Amino acid sequence: MDFPITRAAALKAKPDPSTLVFGKTFTDHMFLMDYHAGQGWHDGRIVPYAPFQLDPSCMVFHYAQEVFEGMKAYRTPEGKIQLFRPIENARRINSSCERMCIPQIDENLFVEAVKALVKVEADWVPDQKGTSLYIRPFIIATDASLGVHASHSYCFCIICCPVGSYYPEGINPVKIYIENDDVRAVRGGTGYTKCGGNYAASIRAGERAEEQGYSQVLWLDGVHRKYIEEVGAMNVLFKLDGKVVTPALEGSVLPGITRKSCLELLRSWGVPVEERRITAEELFDAAQAGKLEEAWGSGTAAVVSPIGELAWGERKVTIHGGKIGALTQKLYDTLTGIQWGTQPDPFGWVVKLD
């Protein structure tokens, strides 16, 4: 697949990789593709990174008909660039599109578009330990019209930003707060999609958690308000009495690619894994009985983020003495080894750029 490339007239200075702040610096180019009813997706192209001009009545501004993805390009020790399971992002954006009545994109075209843009921006993929190029594909509804129905036109865009190491000072377990009032998603809603609306609804609880000194919110299910769902932008896994348990995917939880990769690795190591419902009560009781051995979040940004403390109303527990556990560490080392190409890739997860 060949996409026409319009080069930026002047290239930006590359930021210092040791001081990179997530999501603030964008590369020189972006990928664009348009959709019009009757015409389908057309005119995939790479152009200089620049602001959009959109009509104020544009549907995405009013009804949030929008989906996105998050993935990374990694620099290997040989200086090559590789992606991690990009076809999974292509499948997931299409699953999100289906729910939001957005026309789907051919999965190979999606991956080829990502590869083409990253090739143009190859110099932006940093090479310091733990750094990467974050890739944000997204689709917005562009009909200039108020009135709630599916748009007839869309814009698919991919932007990239270099990101520093998530753990510049080593892995520090995080403190997480279980939210009792706001809910993120219910079955039948959009919880399993990556759509901006889910995040808009989560901001208030995130602010409350921060005010109380917690870094993220752990959501409970929206119906019974007792089953664990996930953390902010991460899925959550627990080592409970020798087994790994994680909430089952029942429509309200985002099907994370890092979650899936953790489960596949754990199964390959012979670790018993259960995908099921877990109540907050069960977790806190297990912690009191000394059986909550490890807990961690999983997501593209952090890979694996150990949870050192959980708070639920008046109840608070410390997990693994507030330090990363051995299994969490092994998952982190294995996943990052595969992603950055310092370890073999037995599952064929990596897609090399050249």
Ligand X SMILES: *Cc1c(COP(=O)(O)O)cnc(C)c1O
By CB under 6 A, name the binding residues for ligand X.
70, 194, 230, 233-235, 254, 256-259, 298-300
Longest Cα–Cα distance of the chain, Å, equals 63
What is the nearest approach in angstroms of ligand X to the Cβ of residue 245?
17
End-to-end C-alpha distance for the chain, whole angstroms = 14
Based on CB atoms, which residue is closest to ligand X, 156 or 192? 192
What is the nearest approach in angstroms of ligand X to the Cβ of residue 167?
16
Based on CB atoms, which residue is closest to ligand X, 44 or 306? 306
What is the nearest approach in angstroms of ligand X to the Cβ of residue 299?
4
Exposure string of 225-247, with b = 16+ CB inside 10 Å and e = fewer, is eebbbbbbbbbbbbbbeeebbbb
What is the nearest approach in angstroms of ligand X to the Cβ of residue 221?
14
Based on CB atoms, which residue is closest to ligand X, 322 or 337? 337
Count Cβ atoms below 10 Å from residue 60 Cβ, excluding itself. Answer: 19
The three-state secondary structure class of 158 is: strand
| 70/203 Cα distance (integer angstroms) | 19
What is the nearest approach in angstroms of ligand X to the Cβ of residue 93?
11
Based on CB atoms, which residue is closest to ligand X, 70 or 197? 70
Based on CB atoms, which residue is closest to ligand X, 153 or 305? 305
What is the nearest approach in angstroms of ligand X to the Cβ of residue 256?
3
Based on CB atoms, which residue is closest to ligand X, 117 or 234? 234
What is the nearest approach in angstroms of ligand X to the Cβ of residue 328?
15
* Non-local CB neighbours of 207 within 8 Å, separated by 6+ positions: none
What is the nearest approach in angstroms of ligand X to the Cβ of residue 197?
12
Based on CB atoms, which residue is closest to ligand X, 113 or 303? 303
Based on CB atoms, which residue is closest to ligand X, 118 or 233? 233
* Non-local CB neighbours of 35 within 8 Å, separated by 6+ positions: 41, 42, 103, 153, 154, 155, 156
Phi-psi region of 61 (alpha: psi -120 to 50; beta: other; left: phi over 0): alpha
Please list the alpha-helical segments (H only) found in the chain.
Answer: 59-63, 86-99, 107-120, 196-200, 203-211, 257-268, 280-288, 326-339
| 92/240 Cα distance (integer angstroms) | 29
| 244/295 Cα distance (integer angstroms) | 9
Cβ(349)–Cβ(338) below 8 Å: yes
